[in-house]
Amino acid sequence: MGGTKPYRCALDRCGKGWKSINGLQYHLQVSKAHFSQALLDRYSLPQKQKQEQSKNSSSASGNDAAGEDQGTKRKKHPCPHDGCPNIYRQKSGLRYHLSHGHQSTHPVQLQVIPPALAQKMNERTCASG
């Protein structure tokens, strides 16, 4: 097969391709690319609530290196964009998210969140809450 990617996403403005059908299947079932607006509508936190959550997790861990050594690293870098629910443990994760997660042109957005992605987001929100 070489470098060809015969399995392409047919949704407008996407253009992504994969060498196997599994990559395309993952993209359509679990990836957030075409569901980011639906995810924001369903799981978004107001900016003030994100800041409070970030402060609470910092104070709960004592905000010291001893807590981090015990494997209790807390997420303390919230995305500054209104409605974005993402909070990161490391500043580098936030930097990557800011450069890739809020692009000016998004691929076509679908309103129905696939069950696998909804379950993954529910587990994530339950674990952080």
90 and 71 within one domain: yes
Residue 110 lies in a domain: no
For residue 23, tell me if it sits in a domain. Answer: yes
Determine the structural domain holding residue 1 and report its residue range. 1-34
Q: What is the pLDDT of residue 20?
A: 93
- The answer to whether position 113 is within a domain reads no
pLDDT at 85: 78
pTM, two decimals, is 0.46
Specify if 121 maps to a domain: no
CA distance 121 to 102: 18
Residue 71 lies in a domain: yes
Tens place of pLDDT per residue across the chain (129 aa): 467 999 998 888 788 899 999 999 888 887 777 877 777 777 765 555 555 555 555 554 444 444 444 445 677 898 888 777 788 899 999 998 888 777 666 677 788 888 888 888 788 767 665
pLDDT at 127: 66
Number of structural domains (the chain) is: 2
Tell me the C-alpha to C-alpha distance, in Å, between residue 23 and each of 1, 5, 39, 91: 15, 10, 21, 29
Question: 93: number of CA atoms within 13 Å, CB side?
Answer: 10
